Amino acid sequence: MRVNIYYGGRGMVEDPTIYVINKITQVLQELRVEVKRYNLYEDKQGITALPSTLKEADGIVLAATVEWLGIGGLMQQFLDACWLYSDKEKMSSLYMLPVVIASTYGERDGECTLLKAWEMLGGIPLNGLCAYVADHIAFETNPEYGRIIEKKAEFLYRNINQKIKNLPSSNMAVKQNILRTTSLDLTPQESEQLSMYVSDDSYVKKQKEDIRELTSMFKELLGNEDDTDMEFINNFRQNFKPLDGFSASYAIKLSDTGKCLVIDIEGENLKCYYGEKKDATVIASTTREVLKDIVMGKKTFQGTFMSGELKAKGNFNILRTFDTVFRFDII
């Protein structure tokens, strides 16, 4: 038997939720259950990939700490990922024990949220543990509380071992009849792969850049020449003179319009769009009029930098190369 524990707190030493899940882990391991714990705060970007770990488990513990209101953003993010990417067939046989410990009001509401969510996901929720804890030391040293936690861990074990089922509920009816989200018809393997892509920042960032470039291209094809989103882009495309082996990126922020023109160069390939690129090789700031003078050939990029009309930071060798790869006719 295997049980996964997903902890949605901040990992603070005095968090009594950690004491509870450690106690549950100890009891389950004594019953020869393999326990795997996932601390959501340790890998916030990877939460969307965690539903793939559910397929390894017979049951899970969702442990949340209520510090202000609700189950917390990390736990909510994990539940959202389960809704989007989990293997729903696997979920139908997966037991869930909620653990909600509050240092303020809301422990019962938090437990109710987890129970409802798991039921709507198609899983099997079990009545869990919830408590208000004002003094974590007094709570953790109370032998009666310790026995209650141990009994609840044994309760989880019995339900999984005996495959005990729940009676039907209205939450399942809501899922089947009302919450009909528009989604792709994906296999469990495809859903798992998609969740891995979503959790990959570099992949998502690249997709956004490609979408912006395609948007600009189609606007140009549709003849939206007056659209400010296309301003200057055609000038750079038409005057691009690639250099062998040269790669760089420029982010030119226009202080008077609030826009940022991003120019990506990869050999003979040029991408030009309005957006954000915080890791650009050269980050510059100027006004629309100065940039207009540059693309009209009245001024050079390096010249405006030397005169103070354009401010820049980054690789200054790359900055100087700008006027070589973009050769506007000098008036």
Which residue would you say has higher pLDDT here, 177 or 51? Answer: 51
99 and 125 inside one domain: yes
* Any domain includes 330: no
174 and 108 inside one domain: yes
* Any domain includes 111: yes
Asked which of 161, 195, 229 is the last residue of a domain, the reply is 195
* Any domain includes 231: yes
pLDDT of residue 178: 47
Residue type, 244: D
pLDDT of residue 226: 46
Of the pLDDT bands very low, low, confident and very high (cuts 50, 70, 90), residue 225 is: very low
227 three-state secondary structure? coil
State mean pLDDT over 193-198: 60
pLDDT digits over 267-283, tens only? 999 999 999 999 999 99
pLDDT of residue 59: 98
Q: How many CB atoms lie within 10 A of CB 112?
A: 15
Question: For the chain, what is the mean pLDDT?
Answer: 88
CATH code for the domain in which residue 298 is found:
3.30.1050.10
Show Cβ contacts of residue 320 under 8 Å, excluding neighbours closer than 6 positions: 302
- Pair of tokens at residue 4: 């996964």
pLDDT of residue 69: 86
8 A C-beta contact, residue 251 and residue 280: yes
pLDDT of residue 189: 61
Least confident of 46-50, 95-99, 182-186, 283-287: 182-186
Give the chain's length. Answer: 331
Cα separation, 30 vs 16, whole angstroms: 22
Going 293 to 297 to 299 to 302, the CA torsion angle's sign is: positive
Of the pLDDT bands very low, low, confident and very high (cuts 50, 70, 90), residue 44 is: confident
8 A C-beta contact, residue 217 and residue 245: no
- Please give the residue range of the domain that contains residue 123: 2-195
Going 298 to 302 to 305 to 306, the CA torsion angle's sign is: negative
* Any domain includes 331: no
Q: How many domains does the chain have?
A: 2
> DSSP secondary-structure letter at 166?
P
264 three-state secondary structure? strand
Cα separation, 293 vs 298, whole angstroms: 5
Of the pLDDT bands very low, low, confident and very high (cuts 50, 70, 90), residue 228 is: low
Is pLDDT of 14 > 50? yes
139 three-state secondary structure? helix
197 three-state secondary structure? helix
Cα separation, 88 vs 190, whole angstroms: 13
- Pair of tokens at residue 224: 């939206």
Show Cβ contacts of residue 109 under 8 Å, excluding neighbours closer than 6 positions: 70
